Homo-oligomer: A and B are copies of this chain.
Amino acid sequence: CSVTEKLHNGSPPNIIIMLMDDMGWGDLGVFGHPAKETPNLDAMAAQGMLLTNFYTANPLCSPSRAALLTGRLPVRNGFYTTNGHARNAYTPQEIVGGISKDEILLPAMLKKNGYVSKIVGKWHLGHRPAYLPLENGFDEWFGAPNCHFGPYNSSITPNIPVYNNSEMLGRYYEEFPINVKTGESNLTQIFLKEGLEFIHRQTKAQQPFFLYWAPDATHTPLYASRSFLGKSQRGRYGDAVMELDYSVGQILSSLQSLGIEKNTFVFFTSDNGAALTSRTNGGSNGPFLCGKETTFEGGMREPAIAWWPGNIKEGTVSQQLANVMDLFSTCLSLAGISAPDDRVLDGLDLTPVLLNLSHSLENRPIFYYRGNEMMAVRVGQFKAHYWTWTNSMEEFKQGVNFCAGQDVPGVTTHNQTEYTLQPIIFHLGRDPGEKFPLSVLTKEYLDALRSVSAVVEYHEKTLVPGVPQLNMCDQAVMNWAPAGCEKLGKCLDAPKSKPWKCSWPH
């Protein structure tokens, strides 16, 4: 009998995905941060499984989140741009597009087996009405459609709205204050309360739930509640981490006090690597190269912990190559729902690994995309870079540095450098920091190239790119008058539509 059948002697488990924003692999004590200020996450790992080779699908918020919820690479689900080569695109509030109606999101799938789904926090898959969470399978939402940048002058740019379900409740920097100077905001506490309240309500109702808990305190502008401000050795970034760690602890202990911990699968990860360009206001990618925006390990390898007492063996470590798209397939498997068969899925069902039924799944590749370009591929311990770049020399000279303090000649390049005929190959076991390319004259290089090439050829031959959704921008589509603004007297006048091709500088 299959894993899924074995699991479903009982009711399907509740599912909680905790997705951090710009938190790096090296920010957790259990992944080696010297400050060791994440006791709750470290305990979560000790009670569950640590995944050391877990990846995002793109080193930027929106495409990463789109991949998680669709189980598909951004180049398939449309969360990319063709305005330039190898450019990271996302959903600022001037974006016209959003998640395509052709995509099926995880909460819509889970509904087939009676799940009630809530997203708490950052959505980032399009802020125009048709793209919002409740139009895409979620039953509830508390949070915002875009990043919490601001405050803006509302005659030029509206502040980002905070929604409760399908109507706005207020705006950041207005009803939901963030003091950019002091870093004070109680948003993480609000997101925690919203998550806990949903868990309690669903438990009482005896309905299986999916909670997608996506707080954004570690994305600049950084914030923390008053009781966490100044508490970390690491400054404001560390304060935000400590409050998130505390919140994770609160959620896990509430599962235990409700007695549902053995029926709730919890997965903790982050959407992309730490933003090194934020300097001491950014996180740590531990021993890995560069960070957010790049396809080096620091941009795409993510902290990952799976927790499910009684099901996932405590204190285990898995070396399985895995990624955020696997969460889609895995959650469907846990819920006893067949995956959609009318589209290509990039995720694998990780339940055999999580439940320790097998040591590892097939030798699956990891693809590192930047926009429309496959920059690199990992097969086993080998990672082949076909294209390298960090950002333009122009931008770099202005102080934007995705690899602060790091410099690997020919690798951390400031122009788009093509290596498609002879990729740069690293052995990530011996060289997780991507500093010492294999010599192209070695047998090891040739053997690695042969196995990677086969994977790449198949991928490129079979890939059908989706229609790019992140090409057009327009001031008129910004959050001038979100649903519910009338009741609050918070509608703003939109300027005339004047669409342009968005510019994605890196």
Which of A169-177, A212-220, A278-286 faces chain B? A278-286
Residues of B close to A238: CB separation below 8 A? 429-430
Cα A232 to Cα B34 in complex, Å, equals 25
Cα A404 to Cα B26 in complex, Å, equals 20
Q: Which has the most chain B C-beta neighbours within 10 Å: A34, A287, A434?
A: A34
Which of A112-120, A324-332, A405-413, A457-465 faces chain B? A405-413
- How many copies the complex holds: the figure is 2
- Picked from B50, B287, B407, the residue with its CB within 8 Å of the CB of A407 is B407
Cα A284 to Cα B429 in complex, Å, equals 12
Whole-angstrom distance from the CB of A385 to the nearest CB of chain B? Answer: 15
Whole-angstrom distance from the CB of A353 to the nearest CB of chain B? Answer: 15
Within 8 A of B (CB), among A9-68: 26, 29-36, 46, 50, 52-53
CB 8 Å contact bits of A432-471 with B (1 = contact, 0 = none) = 1111100000000000000000000000000000000000
Cα A26 to Cα B280 in complex, Å, equals 21
- Picked from B233, B279, B406, B408, the residue with its CB within 8 Å of the CB of A429 is B233
Are A407 and B406 CB-contacts (below 8 A) given A32-B32, A280-B427, A287-B32? yes
Are A429 and B287 CB-contacts (below 8 A) given A32-B26, A36-B52? no
Do A404 and B435 touch across chains, with their CB atoms under 8 A apart?
A: yes
- A435's closest neighbor in chain B, by CB? B405
Do B404 and A405 touch across chains, with their CB atoms under 8 A apart?
A: no
Whole-angstrom distance from the CB of A503 to the nearest CB of chain B? Answer: 29
Residues of B close to A46: CB separation below 8 A? 46
**Interface status of A431 (Cβ within 8 A of chain B):** yes
**Interface status of A335 (Cβ within 8 A of chain B):** no
Within 8 A of B (CB), among A261-293: 279-280, 284, 286-287, 289
Cα A280 to Cα B432 in complex, Å, equals 10
Residues of B close to A33: CB separation below 8 A? 32, 287
* 4 pairs of A and B residues whose beta carbons are closest in the complex: A32-B32, A233-B429, A405-B435, A280-B430
Beyond A35-B319, A234-B430, 13 additional contacts (C-beta under 8 Å) are: A32-B286, A34-B287, A35-B432, A36-B50, A235-B427, A237-B430, A238-B430, A284-B433, A289-B405, A405-B407, A405-B408, A405-B433, A407-B407
